[in-house]
Amino acid sequence: MTYDEFYNNLGSNTGNRDLETYLLALLNLVEQARKQSLSADLLSNLLVDAFISEPKKFNIEWLKIIEAPDEKGFINSKTSSPSGGEYDYTVAVIKFQIAELHKMKGKQLDDEYKYFGIDSETGNRWYNFDPDSILECGMRCYLDHGDNENNHHEFEVSWKTLGNLLEMGRIYE
């Protein structure tokens, strides 16, 4: 699957779910797929299935998370996880974003101008607040920062790709 094909596939499989619920469902699916190598097809399936899959129960401990995970800290660390630091990084990104959205309910998320960008109470910047826009903008960031010729090549992914996609989607306008 090329970058362009992956991007086009995202737009054709959307649902109607708030971002926090979507991410809780995605986390549940990611945890089930933990031992698998992440391919573009599996990533696409996870992102699509999260629109209709059962969400994981929110864990109040996640509210202690106040900073976006540092990819390098996870990738370079020794880990006992069978999927490695890249998987752990992605799970940390998902939990961070869930916690942030949970904290912003009834506050920043009620701002009618939020799509111009808002800061969470922990000082993290957000531009996208629904599954469609976070996935669209995350993938647009991949496409816009590569060369156009590269977009027609195979989209090589790893577990880190999912974490990066979500984080780029959060901050990319």
Predicted confidence pLDDT, tens digits, the chain (173 residues): 888 788 787 765 556 899 999 999 999 999 999 999 999 999 999 999 999 999 999 999 999 999 999 887 776 655 545 457 999 999 999 999 999 999 999 999 999 999 999 999 999 999 999 999 999 999 988 888 765 555 567 788 999 999 999 999 999 98
H or E element that contains 130: none
3-state secondary structure of 96: helix
Residue type, 122: T
The C-alpha atoms of residue 139 and residue 13 are separated, in whole angstroms, by 14
DSSP state of 93: H
d(CA 144, CA 152) in angstroms, rounded, equals 13
What pLDDT shows up at residue 80?
47
Q: Which domain covers residue 122, as residue numbers?
A: 3-171
Compute the half-sphere exposure of residue 71: CA atoms within 13 Å on the CB side of its CA: 13
- Residue 142 has what pLDDT? 80
Structure tokens at 121: 């109470």
pLDDT at residue number 122: 93
How many independent structural domains does the chain possess?
A: 1
For residues 48 and 129, what is the distance between their CA atoms, to the nearest angstrom?
A: 17
Q: Which of 157, 155, 151, 160 is nearest to 79 (CA)?
A: 160
In terms of pTM, does the model score above 0.85?
A: yes
